[in-house]
A and B are shown apart, each in its own frame.
Chain A
């Protein structure tokens, strides 16, 4: 890089706003939540939530940068949990088989989403709304048909438990879920993919103007398919890890991931209209969202007001982010 290091330059990076939003809420809860919130037990509390959400939020955010939406992730989480629990729990098959089958099915659903969006030109919000309901129906129908219940228990032992759904020993007093490692690895891989490879620029170009992007020779259809496959498998992966972690899967639930992932992405500085954003920003946005949600339990505020405080803090975080983005975009370097 040719530019030299400076604090001003750092502040003008696209993810700086998201980072400052995070710092602001950390200070808020440092004051009102006390030290318990920043000790290992408290930190793991929001890191675990951020990891589960973050694995889904990054591909959802990339889709939004590319000008698409995927809300079927809300059904893919219970889908992943239930498929794993039925194969490894109800049928008592190998957990590895369950993992492979779960992720393969998710890949197929992602392909269906992508194909429908490309072929029908129906807005992806509507297409994935359809698959959201369809997958929910499949999960409920098949689960009751197979297991005669809406809740299936799952006992996992050995390496699969440790890798996908256990608490990491020693570090953080054994309070971090193993999914946190997956989240960090995934985030690093996405940073490389989006910001240091040619394909990353394709995503931004698609969100800016899809027709021009295609005319410029970008394989927009293949990229769209890839992004939908990523979001579907990521959501199923999170569901699978939760089933292994909590030894049980329910047909309901997972819906909160739809809204929460979109909120995290927007806090992270991605424009709802597409074409602008960064993986690191989404990463910080997810942590901000998790901190605000979990921090509330360390404070003395009456719990009936939790949602209000969460809403106000999230708004402040987004406003901070926007202010800094404007400052960054309008900045003109002084002549030397």
Chain B
């Protein structure tokens, strides 16, 4: 009897101890109908069993919509603080609104990792453990270098939303990557009257190709624009001569890579963002690990003929 009571007390103490040590993590992310965030969620879901096995938990707090963006995100951070979590994974979309709340979370003893948006400099400034995500400029450079190393000399980066900082960074990266590889590249900013009109985008690209015969590479800032670009290249009679690349993936683009009418696509690999951010944070809380790699870049991952089959298998499982 006495022994049993002692054992129970001991196990209760043990449970309390693990309760204090285990990583209860809150992850804030985009809305349910956002395909991109469902891939991040797949990464989180795959990381969760390991965290739960060590006595922790993962709570995914999603925005319902993007209508009242900054206040809603801040509200979710406050919710996470009031839940007394041990760790917080947060995209720093709107620094001026989110920074005070993130600092409050840190003051409450919560360990923070920035994911998807924010960047390494912001993570250092706030004192976050790390930044897990991509860098648009680095992704652009990778695209430019890919073109250069495959023999392209003159590349056009088609920007259907000129003025958006992240897209300008993509094109600037392509230009710098090409220039470093010995080629030339330029941005083609399309007027807003053509945004969302596939024919107008395709015809603009066709016109540029007809006007400048030396263009042998086209890269678009989105997967949808690549659908238009493929038709534009075909209509200019340059299929096989002018290579096509794109930022981001969609099914039609993957089919083109498979059928070799598109050369490559640059992926920021959102699955890794969810998976790595949650595991890194839990491991830091549970075991005190710290990763010297800072930031942790999940992209650019290049999808081309060499890895298209594995990528398609990933798409089927909702991870790409």
Contact = CB atoms under 8 A, between A and B. Distances in A.
Q: Do A and B bind each other?
A: yes
Interface of A: 36, 41-42, 44-46, 48-49, 52-53, 77-78, 140-141, 144-145, 148-154, 167, 175, 177, 242, 245-248, 250, 252-257, 259-260, 293-294, 296-298, 303-304, 306-307, 310
Given A294-B203, A298-B207, A303-B189, 6 more contacts: A41-B235, A49-B197, A152-B251, A153-B255, A246-B198, A253-B196
Contacts of B202: 48, 246
20 contacts: A45-B206, A48-B203, A52-B197, A52-B199, A53-B197, A175-B235, A245-B198, A245-B199, A246-B227, A246-B231, A248-B224, A248-B250, A256-B197, A257-B197, A293-B191, A294-B207, A297-B204, A298-B211, A304-B189, A310-B191
Given A149-B251, A255-B196, A36 B206 contact: no
A48 B199 CA distance: 7
A161 B101 CA distance: 54
B72 interface: no
A77 B200 CA distance: 14
B38 interface: yes
B68 interface: no
A297 B227 contact: no
A261 to B, nearest CB: 11
Nearest to A51: B199
Interface of B: 32-35, 38, 162, 187-200, 202-204, 206-208, 210-211, 223-224, 227-228, 230-231, 235-236, 250-252, 255, 318
Nearest to A311: B191
Leading 4 A-B pairs by shortest Cβ distance: A253-B196, A297-B207, A248-B252, A153-B251
A144 B235 contact: no
B193 A256 contact: yes
Contacts of A177: 199
A310 B202 CA distance: 18
Interface centre among B32, B192, B196 (most CB of A within 10 A): B196
B211 A150 contact: no
A14 B253 CA distance: 47
Given A148-B318, A246-B198, A49 B203 contact: yes
Contacts of B200: 49, 52, 256, 293-294
A41 B251 contact: no
A144 B33 contact: yes
A153 to B, nearest CB: 4
A310 B250 CA distance: 32
Nearest to A36: B210
Contacts of A140: 33
Given A148-B38, A167-B235, A260 B193 contact: yes
Contacts of A304: 162, 189
B227 A254 contact: no
Given A140-B33, A148-B35, A307-B192, A247 B227 contact: yes
A141 B35 CA distance: 11
A85 to B, nearest CB: 10
Contacts of B34: 144, 150
Contact of A246 (B32, B228, B255, B318): B228
A144 B202 CA distance: 26
A177 to B, nearest CB: 7
A49 B201 CA distance: 9
Contacts of A245: 198-199, 231
A97 to B, nearest CB: 21
Contact of A255 (B191, B195, B224, B255): B195
A257 B204 CA distance: 16
A250 B160 CA distance: 15
A110 B32 CA distance: 30
B227 A42 contact: no
B33 A256 contact: no
Contacts of A150: 34-35
A46 B227 CA distance: 19
Contacts of A36: 210-211
A242 B227 CA distance: 11
A310 B189 CA distance: 14
A108 to B, nearest CB: 23
Contact of B206 (A41, A248, A259): A41
Contacts of A303: 187-189
Nearest to A289: B193
A259 B193 contact: yes
Nearest to B224: A250
Contacts of A247: 227, 252
B193 A151 contact: no
Contact of B189 (A52, A250, A294, A306): A306
Contacts of A154: 252
A141 B33 contact: yes
B222 to A, nearest CB: 9
Contacts of A153: 250-252, 255
A149 B191 CA distance: 27
A310 B196 contact: no
A46 B203 contact: yes
A256 B223 contact: no
A250 to B, nearest CB: 4
A256 B192 contact: yes
Nearest to A39: B210
B282 to A, nearest CB: 28
A177 B250 CA distance: 24
Contact of B195 (A52, A175, A256): A256
